[in-house]
């Protein structure tokens, strides 16, 4: 019998061990569960504005993460990731949910998992009043504030019907006056903010210690916005009033002035200039950033030498040197040095006389006293049919006779050269025969050559073009003029077009638009040249210098452009072209459909907005929108944020496509220069300059 018991005992141990091993294996795999969230409501309670309450986690572990669904009703006054406690405070009437997220260990057969425990409390906040939390140690009907039961007509703050017991909440409906806000003050009554910058306002309530829900608002949200914390963000230049309002209607305001950024750099069209006395030159400047504001002044260091007006026109006075300073209110400056040459006291011509044959050419030279005197001269001939003279003193003999060449300075000094012209001998020989009886025949003749004089070359130093604007229509003409310095240069001006099939140019600078496209027209004198870019356009053309441009379309019948207060229909397949007659002026552009071509536009301080197509009342357009930069043109876009902003993402619109071989530079002060999803960039010469 004993032997049998031992065998049975061994078998029991075997089965127990096997079962235990199987239990552990199953538990191990069962422990590989996905982490979960465990949500548990902790009930609800009521507070009055200004009251606090401490809450405690009931089962979670660190870290503890407290939050409120409405900070305008209840705020978390104090909490710590390592502590299960938090103090909450009622700040405004309403309902809010306090949430605590913490880690909770959940055991399994094979160990355990760390799940997330989510605990919530619902808080209802009412206005501060005579209702209070009971804490009297007395029971019964207490109309006083003493610890004795019974009727008490006293005026203690605990007066009222208190049904509470020891440390339990009771209802006190006594005559205590509620603590309300009687005044609210802001830390600033006015302030100035630059576009894109932020500043904060702080509200102080009186009497001290009182609390209230605060509402912030801006009278002009397009100028500046304000959030629930009193942080003001400047958007565009202008003025607005920021107002804070308490729950009981008390208000305080701050006047906010939004200004453009200050000038950081000034560029001049030239930094040195030499003038004759009485001569003029126009100094032009540009500032950076282009949307900068502030007063710019132009002053001369010596007004007796050179005066300058507000438009930058410099007028030369007496001989000497002066410095013209362009200064912005930010303190940034740029300077131009002006040299005024003295008036000549005496001039001489070399040579004083000439003997020429018809067709001869001679260069006359002038000697000045003093040597660095003003060199502005006027040439004339008293008989230009015999000998003419150019503006640079080149004399051409035309026919036999006499002439006097005179050169005169701006202050009346003059010199002369007497010219005698004789007929030139014929080239080659002539044969003849003697009269009969004269003893035979003979030949007479001779060989002559036209005399050619050496001409002194005076190279061109600079060339400039006037009369150009950035666009012209096909079939029209534009008259350009070239100014070459010095005025007595011997280099002639020649004109050329980069693409004569788009626009041709005559020898006199007349440009004719032939077909749509961009060209560069160049004037050249010697080794110097100047160029202008011109866009030849056709079809529906709108000038962004003159007003806002709103392009809409729905691929059907609602294809229109709103421009300068009027509405125009346009051809969706051809699209519209936007040009700019005045590069210093631009306006807002909004695109809601079709194709828009930019041709030599420089847009600064305004955005090109491709509309949000979920706003079907604005643009029910279906399909891609195309922005094209015309070949051969230069385009420039500058805005504080993205100068081209695509607000896509709706079901009705697919993509914004950028195309064309024209140059396009996009500049942004804040953030990317091109914004939006669904943008396809097929424009090889698009350059983004964002932050």
Residue 445's pLDDT is 40
Residue 305's pLDDT is 93
Asked if pLDDT for residue 654 goes beyond 80, the answer is no
pLDDT digits (tens, 9 = 90+) for 217-266: 999 999 999 998 899 999 988 999 999 999 999 999 999 999 888 888 89
Asked if pLDDT for residue 676 goes beyond 90, the answer is no
Q: How far is CA 424 from the centre of its chain?
A: 70
Q: Which residue has the higher pLDDT, 26 or 494?
A: 494
Residue 22's pLDDT is 61
What is the edge-to-edge ordering of all strands in the sheet holding 61-68? 37-48, 111-126, 94-108, 61-68
Cβ contact 257:190 at 8 Å: yes
Angle at 675 between CA 669 and CA 680, to 5 degrees: 135
State both tokens at 15.
């089965």
pLDDT digits (tens, 9 = 90+) for 545-597: 999 998 876 544 456 788 888 887 777 677 899 999 888 888 889 888 788 99
If you average pLDDT over residues 399-413, what whole number do you get? 89
pLDDT digits (tens, 9 = 90+) for 77-101: 877 777 778 888 888 889 999 998 8
Could you tell me the domains of the chain? 39-126 (2.60.40.10), 183-259 (2.60.40.1080), 265-341 (2.60.40.1080), 346-422 (2.60.40.1080), 462-537 (2.60.40.1080), 550-689 (no CATH)
Q: Return mean pLDDT, the chain.
A: 78
If you average pLDDT over residues 32-41, what whole number do you get? 61
* pLDDT band at residue 630 using 50, 70 and 90 as cut-offs: very high
Helix (H, G, I), strand (E, B) or coil at 64: strand
Torsion angle of C-alpha atoms 91, 96, 97, 100, degrees rounded to 10: -20
CB atoms within 10 A of CB 239: 15
Asked if pLDDT for residue 390 goes beyond 50, the answer is yes
Closest CA to 550 of 572, 573, 571, 568: 568
If you average pLDDT over residues 521-529, what whole number do you get? 91
Mention every residue, 6+ apart, whose C-beta is less than 8 A from residue 62. Answer: 81, 82, 102, 103
Residue 245's pLDDT is 94
Cβ contact 367:393 at 8 Å: no
Residue 429's pLDDT is 39
Helix (H, G, I), strand (E, B) or coil at 196: coil
State both tokens at 655.
């993509």
Helix H or strand E segment including 18: helix 2-30
Residue 621's pLDDT is 53
Asked if pLDDT for residue 332 goes beyond 80, the answer is yes
Mention every residue, 6+ apart, whose C-beta is less than 8 A from residue 462. Answer: 484, 485, 528, 530
Share of the chain above pLDDT 90, in %: 29
φ and ψ at residue 566, rounded to 5 degrees:
-120, 165
Highest mean pLDDT of the ranges 573-582, 602-611, 682-691: 573-582
Highest mean pLDDT of the ranges 148-152, 292-296, 533-537, 592-596: 533-537
Mention every residue, 6+ apart, whose C-beta is less than 8 A from residue 20. Answer: none
- In angstroms, the CA 531 to CA 454 distance is 33
Asked if pLDDT for residue 469 goes beyond 70, the answer is yes
* pLDDT band at residue 105 using 50, 70 and 90 as cut-offs: low
pLDDT digits (tens, 9 = 90+) for 286-326: 888 877 877 899 999 999 999 999 888 899 888 899 999 99
Share of the chain above pLDDT 70, in %: 76
Residue 691's pLDDT is 56
State both tokens at 323.
């410095």
Helix (H, G, I), strand (E, B) or coil at 29: helix
Asked if pLDDT for residue 657 goes beyond 80, the answer is yes
State both tokens at 367.
């000697």
Helix (H, G, I), strand (E, B) or coil at 25: helix
Asked if pLDDT for residue 170 goes beyond 80, the answer is no
Residue 19's pLDDT is 61
Residue 325's pLDDT is 96
* pLDDT band at residue 20 using 50, 70 and 90 as cut-offs: low
- In angstroms, the CA 121 to CA 96 distance is 9
Residue carrying structure tokens 């131009």: 336
pLDDT digits (tens, 9 = 90+) for 363-377: 888 888 887 777 677
Segments of 459-607 assigned E as strands: 462-466, 471-473, 477-479, 481-485, 493-497, 503-505, 510-513, 517-525, 528-537, 540-543, 549-552, 560-563, 566-569, 576-579, 589-592, 595-598, 602-604
Mention every residue, 6+ apart, whose C-beta is less than 8 A from residue 538. Answer: 473, 474, 515, 516, 577
- In angstroms, the CA 71 to CA 60 distance is 24
Q: Parallel, antiparallel, or unpaired: how do β-strands 510-513 and 477-479 relate?
A: antiparallel
Residue 141's pLDDT is 41
If you average pLDDT over residues 339-347, what whole number do you get? 87
Helix (H, G, I), strand (E, B) or coil at 209: coil
Beta bridge mates, 513: 503
Q: Which residue has the higher pLDDT, 199 or 60?
A: 199
Q: Parallel, antiparallel, or unpaired: how do β-strands 52-56 and 85-90 relate?
A: antiparallel
Helix (H, G, I), strand (E, B) or coil at 16: helix
pTM score: 0.38
Q: Which residue has the higher pLDDT, 183 or 621?
A: 183
Asked if pLDDT for residue 612 goes beyond 70, the answer is no
Cβ contact 393:365 at 8 Å: yes
Residue carrying structure tokens 């002066």: 322
If you average pLDDT over residues 516-529, what whole number do you get? 92
Helix H or strand E segment including 12: helix 2-30
Residue 594's pLDDT is 81
Residue 147's pLDDT is 38
Helix (H, G, I), strand (E, B) or coil at 462: strand
- In angstroms, the CA 88 to CA 104 distance is 23
Closest CA to 55 of 118, 121, 104: 121
CB atoms within 10 A of CB 111: 11
Residues listed for the chain = 691
- In angstroms, the CA 143 to CA 67 distance is 40
Angle at 602 between CA 601 and CA 606, to 5 degrees: 110
Asked if pLDDT for residue 154 goes beyond 80, the answer is no
State both tokens at 100.
């605590």
Q: How far is CA 376 from the centre of its chain?
A: 45
Residue 17's pLDDT is 67
Mention every residue, 6+ apart, whose C-beta is less than 8 A from residue 573. Answer: none
If you average pLDDT over residues 499-522, what whole number do you get? 92
């Amino acid at each position: 019998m004993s032997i049998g018991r031992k065998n049975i005992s061994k078998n029991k141990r075997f089965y127990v061990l096997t079962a235990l091993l199987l239990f552990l294996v199953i538990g191990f795999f069962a422990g590989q569960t996905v982490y979960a969230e465990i949500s548990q409501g902790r009930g609800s309670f009521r507070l009055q504005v200004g009251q606090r309450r401490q809450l405690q986690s009931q089962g979670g572990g660190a870290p503890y993460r407290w939050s409120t669904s409405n900070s305008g009703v209840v705020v978390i006054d104090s909490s710590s990731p390592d502590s299960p406690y938090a103090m909450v405070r009622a700040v405004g009437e309403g309902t809010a949910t306090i949430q605590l997220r913490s880690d909770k260990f959940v055991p399994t057969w094979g160990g355990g998992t760390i799940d997330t425990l989510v605990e919530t409390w619902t808080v209802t906040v009412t206005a501060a009043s005579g209702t209070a939390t009971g804490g009297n140690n007395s029971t019964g009907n207490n109309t006083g504030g003493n610890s004795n039961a019974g009727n008490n007509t006293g005026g203690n703050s605990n007066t009222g019907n208190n049904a509470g017991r020891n440390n339990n909440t009771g209802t006190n409906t006594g005559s205590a006056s509620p603590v309300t806000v009687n005044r609210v003050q802001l830390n600033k009554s006015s302030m100035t903010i630059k576009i894109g910058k932020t500043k904060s306002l702080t509200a102080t309530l009186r009497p001290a210690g009182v609390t209230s829900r605060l509402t912030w608002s801006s009278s002009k949200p397009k100028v500046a916005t304000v959030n629930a914390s009193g942080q003001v963000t400047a958007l565009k230049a202008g003025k607005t009033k920021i107002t804070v309002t308490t729950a009981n209607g008390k208000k305080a305001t701050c006047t906010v002035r939004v200004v453009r950024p200050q000038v950081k750099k000034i560029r001049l069209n030239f930094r040195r200039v030499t003038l004759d006395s009485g001569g003029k030159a126009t100094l032009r400047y540009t500032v950076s950033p282009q949307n900068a504001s502030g007063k710019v002044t132009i002053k001369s260091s010596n007004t007796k030498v050179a005066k300058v007006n507000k438009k930058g026109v410099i007028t030369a006075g007496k001989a000497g040197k002066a410095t013209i300073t362009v200064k912005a209110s930010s303190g940034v400056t740029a300077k131009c040095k002006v040299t005024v040459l003295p008036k000549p006291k005496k001039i001489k011509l070399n040579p004083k006389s000439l003997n020429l044959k018809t067709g001869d050419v001679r260069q006359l030279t002038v000697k000045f006293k003093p040597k660095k005197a003003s060199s502005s001269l006027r040439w004339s001939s008293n008989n230009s049919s015999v000998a003419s003279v150019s503006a640079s003193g080149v004399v051409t003999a035309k026919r036999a006779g006499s002439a006097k060449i005179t050169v005169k300075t701006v202050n009346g000094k003059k010199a002369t050269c007497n010219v005698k012209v004789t007929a030139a001998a014929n080239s080659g020989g002539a044969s003849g025969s003697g009269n009969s009886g004269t003893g035979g025949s003979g030949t007479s003749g001779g060989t002559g050559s036209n005399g050619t004089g050496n001409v002194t070359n005076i190279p061109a130093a600079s060339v400039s073009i006037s009369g150009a604007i950035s666009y012209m229509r096909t079939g029209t003409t534009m008259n350009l003029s070239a100014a070459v310095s010095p005025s007595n240069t011997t280099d002639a001006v020649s004109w050329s077009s980069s693409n004569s099939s788009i626009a041709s140019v005559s020898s006199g600078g007349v440009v004719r638009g032939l077909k749509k496209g961009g060209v560069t027209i160049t004037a050249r004198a010697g080794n110097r040249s100047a160029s202008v870019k011109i866009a030849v356009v056709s079809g529906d053309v709108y000038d962004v210098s003159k007003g806002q441009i709103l392009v809409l379309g729905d691929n059907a019948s609602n294809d229109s452009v709103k421009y300068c207060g009027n509405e125009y229909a346009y051809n969706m397949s051809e699209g519209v072209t936007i040009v700019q007659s005045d590069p210093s002026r631009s306006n807002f552009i909004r695109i809601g459909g079709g194709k828009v071509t930019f041709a030599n536009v420089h847009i600064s301080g305004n955005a090109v907005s491709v509309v949000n197509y979920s706003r079907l009342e604005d643009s029910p357009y279906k399909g891609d929108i195309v922005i094209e930069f015309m070949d051969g043109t230069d385009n420039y876009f500058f805005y504080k944020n993205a100068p081209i902003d695509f607000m896509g993402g709706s079901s009705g619109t697919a993509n914004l496509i950028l195309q064309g071989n024209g140059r396009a530079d996009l500049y942004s002060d804040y953030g990317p220069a091109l914004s939006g999803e669904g943008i396809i960039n097929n424009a090889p010469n698009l350059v983004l300059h964002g932050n």
